[in-house]
Structure 1
Amino acid sequence: MTATTQAGAGRTGALTAAVWSALGTVRDPELDEPLTELGFVERLEVSATGRAVVRLRLPTYFCAPNFAFLMVADAYDAVTAVPGVTELDVALQDHFAAEAINTGVAARAGFVASFEGEAVDELDSLRADFVRKAVYAGTDRVCRAMLAAGTEATRLPALTLGDAPEGEDRERLRARRRELGLPAGDGDPLLVDPRTGDPVASENLTRYLGFARLTRTSQEANSGVCRGMLRARYPHPHSQHEEGRP
């Protein structure tokens, strides 16, 4: 291999890694987990000229088309923004609405136009609903760690986000709050209403923590079901995620 060839291979490899990283920012809206970790990226190829080919797959043929549309559209946006990508071909496979979704995303048509006569509005409100659920689930993860470490539950309404233990769970919660425009600084309340951003009052603490726990449990249970169904549907690992690439 010549030095020129090696350099070209190095650039392609770096670009492939950058595209994979970008796909890692795309989440299943219901599960709040990256497509790359869920195994939903079946194939990624990047050419020396910067053409990226992405193939996505889901656990069932009948996964909700609105969820699927969000993931394909988000993947398109994320990869398009990667410097060095000159052309993009992203598509969902093995899904009953794949043709409508793929055509609509490629044309940047939006959900309503992609499902003309079937969809009545775009998906912004749906996305926000799932991010609010992610805030509840994330709050439960953070609070569970604090309670296990000895923090009294009655103290939680008086604590700030900065009082939570440093780590992935806190920063994930901070990021979801920011997506909704909620207060997310270290000095902001630990417990906030995801709909309004208002602090949670002490008299509402039990109900709030109960709903947060239920949301987190449901989210994790759905994640387990989806992973199991994906393995059953595609029993022979061949995705780049499963093989430890890119």
Structure 2
Amino acid sequence: MATASVSGSREKELWRRLGEVNDPELDEAITEMGFVERAEVKGDGNVEVDFRLPTYWCSPNFAFLMLDGVRKALDQLSWSPAYRVKLHDHMFAEEVNRGIEVGRTFGDIFAELAEDKDIDTLRETFSMKAFKRRQEAVLRGLREHGLTDHEILGTDLTAYDAVRFAPGEAAVQKPRYRAALLERFPERQAGDPVFVTWEGRQIAPAALSAYLAELRGVRVNMEFNGALCRGLKQTRYKELDVVDGEPTLVDFIMDRVPARSAPAV
């Protein structure tokens, strides 16, 4: 009985850790995207993870960033297990899996495969997009909350933590934006403004609407890529269950096409 309890607890921890790894381009959890096909704690405590991307030709840069995130997540497991991560149905799966089997790191393997050798620059680009997407959701939420632009941009970390949103996108992104802000600006003090640009500049209240329009462009692009990615994966792997109510790529496009007026009779 105790063994079953330990096993169940470890399974939950495993999936929780994997759920903290994001697709770098979409800023969505790889578990939500369905990229983790199987994650299992074996009887001896070791861990096996099967990983599958939506297309055969997914950029090796993206694959590296996600698999490196998986590695870091597994390294944080409380019982420090040995683990095996296997990439399936990808143009570099053979090279990646063979390299892992002989003990090479993801960094060593992908250094030879990556299209862009400056992975750190690519990682920062995706971090910037995630920062902006999360920030936009919270800014819109505060406007809907009834705050003026001046009040919003004067919000410090203490006031930010006191805000309570109804369930929705702003509530989801509030803690995620806080994490992104402090990762970007670790020296941030409790009394400092929470809403600044990626470069750390103050945002003038009169400029907030234009700034939000810029952020919206980032979000729409990421949402479109996410819808496309889900559609490709569902088309490629028919056995995956479609989540009830999840929008398709067509739904996403049609939702953004202005409705045409009926022709005059």
TM-score in same-fold range (> 0.5): yes
* Residue 64 (1) aligns with residue 59 (2): yes
What is the aligned partner in structure 2 of residue 172 from structure 1?
176
What is the aligned partner in structure 1 of residue 136 from structure 2?
140
* Cα distance in 1 for residues equivalent to 2:141 and 2:114: 44
* Cα distance in 1 for residues equivalent to 2:228 and 2:53: 12
* Cα distance in 2 for residues equivalent to 1:131 and 1:59: 21
Which of 1 and 2 has higher RCO (CA within 8 Å, sep 6+)? 1
TM-score (norm 1): 0.83
User: How many residue pairs were aligned?
Assistant: 234
* Residues 8 and 48, structure 1, Cα contact 8 Å, conserved in 2: no
Flag structure 1 segments of 5+ consecutive residues without an equivalent: 1-5
Amino acid at match of 2:84: D
* Residues 16 and 46, structure 1, Cα contact 8 Å, conserved in 2: yes
RMSD of Structure 2 on Structure 1 (CA): 2.7
What is the aligned partner in structure 1 of residue 191 from structure 2?
187
Cα pair distance change 1:197/1:41, threshold 3 Å: same
* Cα distance in 1 for residues equivalent to 2:187 and 2:202: 10
* Cα distance in 2 for residues equivalent to 1:117 and 1:83: 32
* Cα distance in 2 for residues equivalent to 1:67 and 1:160: 35
Amino-acid identity (%): 34
* Cα distance in 2 for residues equivalent to 1:109 and 1:62: 18
* Cα distance in 2 for residues equivalent to 1:183 and 1:235: 48
SS in 2 for 1:132: helix
Amino acid at match of 2:52: R
* Residues 135 and 177, structure 1, Cα contact 8 Å, conserved in 2: yes
* Residue 216 (1) aligns with residue 212 (2): no
Which stretch shows the higher mean deviation, 227-236 or 157-166?
A: 157-166
Which stretch shows the higher mean deviation, 27-36 or 176-185?
A: 176-185
* Residues 37 and 50, structure 2, Cα contact 8 Å, conserved in 1: yes
What is the aligned partner in structure 2 of residue 107 from structure 1?
104
* Cα distance in 2 for residues equivalent to 1:182 and 1:16: 32
Q: How far off its partner does 1:191 sit?
A: 2.2
* Cα distance in 2 for residues equivalent to 1:104 and 1:124: 22
Q: How far off its partner does 1:153 sit?
A: 3.6
Flag structure 2 segments of 5+ consecutive residues without an equivalent: 165-170, 245-265
What is the aligned partner in structure 2 of residue 3 from structure 1?
none
* Residues 157 and 189, structure 1, Cα contact 8 Å, conserved in 2: yes
Q: Deviations over 1:64-92 (max 9, x none)?
A: 11011111111012112202242110121
Cα pair distance change 1:233/1:185, threshold 3 Å: farther
* Residues 128 and 180, structure 1, Cα contact 8 Å, conserved in 2: no
* Cα distance in 2 for residues equivalent to 1:118 and 1:159: 41
* Residues 103 and 114, structure 1, Cα contact 8 Å, conserved in 2: no
Cα pair distance change 1:58/1:12, threshold 3 Å: same
